[in-house]
Amino acid sequence: MAQRRMFSKEITTSDTFVDMPMSSQLLYFHLGMEADDEGFIGNAKMLSRAYGANSDDLSLLKAKGFIIMFENGVSVVKDWNLNNKIRKDRMKPTIYRSEKSILNVDVDGSYFIRNKMTTISQPDDNQMSAQDRLGKDRLGKDSKDILSGSDEPDHVPYKEIVDYLNKKTRNKYRSSGSKTKSLIKARFNEGFSLDDFKAVIDVKSSQWVNDQKMNKFLRPETLFSNKFEGYLNENNVKPNNTDMRNMTQEEGMRAALGKYYKE
């Protein structure tokens, strides 16, 4: 079994990650250290208590899309394959084969539940119980059922976004599809705008439209997933050594990883 565990700066320096409480960030590192070679953890709740976290921290990691939790308590680090590149000859297969069998891996290497109507980072109200409502860091828009059928007017420009995607990629996606609408509204609930959607479409279409291997990913479920923010910032990437916004996070990583942490 491979022993080294790594964490991608694309994940741990994202706004979504650093906006979480430090206790939730530390729990993510601890779970990453305890996961098996394919990112699965069989006792996340016990580990969260053992490391001084609480159910709010675990619920927040789930709600923000950093882990996927199954009904039987098994969890998986969603971006495990982005964090870790383990050689096949050194990898010990997970014992949680039934849970793995219902997962797929997207173009970026992130796990997602196949045939799921909403994004992993945007669980619906049927999946979230009352105790999942966080006290210290309310999820607000993130915890709403984005297809709840509310009587409130919906001003999200689904058609304009999908029409723009079709124009740039010469596809014929429908803006009325429930899956497409759920993805778009999830991103709007996170504060992104119409211009942000157009920017992501521009960036990825310029990269993939003439690539026979990648152009199939110019579709709503890829572009508007929880990787949206990363795509949006691809044209504004700063050198890693300039991102010093949160020194407490750096200290937290050192505390969580101990001897495994390297400057």
Q: Are 83 and 77 in contact (CB under 8 A)?
A: yes
Per-residue model confidence as pLDDT tens digits over 138-180: 444 444 444 444 445 568 999 999 999 999 999 999 998 888 9
How far, in Å, CA of 120 to CA of 68, rounded? Answer: 7
Residue 91 pLDDT class (50, 70, 90 cuts): confident
* Closest by Cα among 256, 226, 223, 23 to 137: 23
pLDDT value, residue 193: 92
In the chain, the amino acid numbered 153 is P
* Closest by Cα among 252, 263, 260 to 18: 252
Q: Put the strands of the sheet holding 75-77 in their side by side order.
A: 40-41, 75-77, 67-69
For the chain, domain boundaries: 9-141+244-260, 148-232
Per-residue model confidence as pLDDT tens digits over 111-122: 998 765 334 444
| Angle between helix 194-208 and 158-169 (nearest 10) | 20
